[in-house]
A and B are shown apart, each in its own frame.
Chain A
Amino acid sequence: MNIIYQIGKYFILLSKVFAKPEKQSVYYKQIVKEIHSLGLNSIGIVIIISAFMGAVITLQTAYNMENPLLPLYLIGLGCRDSMILEFSSTMIALILAGKVGSSIASELGTMRVTEQIDALEIMGVNSASYLILPKIIAAVFFNPILTTISIIVGVFGGWVAVLATGVVSSEYFIIGIQYAFIPFYITYAMVKTVFFAFIITSVSSFHGYFVKGGSIEVGKASTKAVVYSSIVILLFNVILTQLLLS
């Protein structure tokens, strides 16, 4: 019962979030601010994780290809496709759910318990829209850029691993990452990214916005934000994959 109640509450919140903004110029400012705090600030972690992941995927593919009949370009191809299909969209989304989700929930939760949200409401501001919409827009537009960066850096990381270990020659790797490229995979990755960006920001905002109590509840809300956005991301990963790739 409770879960249905929560889902209903989530959608009511969303309807408030997507109400017509009071004053657009103020929203633009907020969006720029959120792109900075949610997007630009995540580039570092995305680069680090993607580089290492690309390297590991490449090495694992290489060491698991014991059959000499398998063509060596499969290593580059494997690295490229794993990055595009799963890693740069889903894994990065899960990591961002941890980083961005908890910060959104604790920011909104703190604003709730210190009555800053009430203060907005009293002024006649639609607090849900003012606080949450810029976050959603910022993430939905910026996360595809993060995914793109992740794909490029991941493949590059794989190539560096190839150079460093010599598991395969650099030429074969480069042939591999160009071989049988399916452009639709990029579309698939981007569609997932946009969905996940929406999930991370809206689910985390939901948990932060409705905090009751004090700092302990804010902490709990930020944990919940991470757990629930991750679960919803995994669920939608399955649904979207079935819809797009079947």
Chain B
Amino acid sequence: MIEAINISKSLGNLKVLDNISVKFDPGKTNLIIGQSGSGKTVFLKCLIGLFDPDEGSVMYDDVVFNKLPFKAKKKIRQKVGMMFQGGALFDSATVIENIMYPLDMFTQLSFQEKKERARFCLDRVDIKDAGHLFSAEISGGMQKRVALARAIALNPDYLFCDEPNSGLDPKTAILIDALIKEITEEFNMTTVVNTHDMNSVMEIGEKVVFIYQGRKLWEGSNKDILDSSNEELNQFVFANNLAKQLKKMNSDI
């Protein structure tokens, strides 16, 4: 179980995160939503320890993760998979080598076993045939899939995804979302996904946390989100005209 307790973080003179507390549902797909620049990435990076929060604690089960020494953090991190906003694939390695990398580093498997595991992960994200290509040779959508495959290579307990479907066409975006949800359920992971895509929210948001200018303004499930009376959340959710009219129709009935 992951929990953030009163997290605050300033970068430069800007208070990026202001006293955020969230308890993430274990075994589910948790979504963090908010506008561009609201602090989602910084929050996620605090959760996994790429940023140190100025105040507050990040709990993994019963341990205060952000107070642990480097070595103990490493132990927990091996149970964490992360999919970065830009993919962060190793560009000096092929797709299959990228996925095998965590296995190389942290398992005693034979080369053949590692390869098999990597193939399995590639297959799981539907790009079996791209294994021999370098990351510069595959499309953005494929890079996201490879990043996801690499993140799940070690069968992590926790999966973090930073905007897994930004910059993708709607169809591929839905596919990736569905994939994340499926994988979360299949392997019983606790997944945290950053997104500003309302489609994802409606499709996979079992638990949704809304961040606005570094503060948590709302949390609930995707079923409650349309009925919320929170002003900022409504502005975010019903940003486009079509959605606004739907909302109006909904309240007229």
Contact = CB atoms under 8 A, between A and B. Distances in A.
A68 to B, nearest CB: 60
Given A116-B88, A116-B90, A118-B50, A124 B82 contact: no
B77 A123 contact: yes
Contact of A121 (B50, B89, B106): B50
B106 A115 contact: no
Given A22-B105, A118-B50, A124 B86 contact: no
Given A124-B74, A124-B77, A124-B78, A119 B84 contact: yes
B106 A116 contact: no
B104 to A, nearest CB: 6
Contacts of A126: 74
Given A26-B105, A123-B105, A114 B88 contact: yes
Interface size class of B (residues with CB under 8 A): 20 to 34
Contact of A114 (B50, B91, B104): B91
Interface string A97-116: 00000000000001100111
B118 to A, nearest CB: 15
A122 interface: yes
B56 interface: no
Interface residues of A, number: 16
B84 A118 contact: yes
A125 interface: yes
Contacts of A123: 77-78, 101-102, 105-106
A125 B63 CA distance: 21
Interface in B137-180: none
Interface of B: 45, 48, 50, 73-78, 80, 82, 84-86, 88-91, 101-102, 104-106
23 contacts: A22-B105, A23-B105, A23-B106, A26-B104, A110-B91, A114-B88, A114-B91, A116-B88, A116-B90, A118-B45, A119-B84, A119-B90, A121-B77, A122-B48, A122-B50, A122-B77, A122-B82, A123-B106, A124-B73, A124-B74, A124-B75, A124-B76, A124-B78
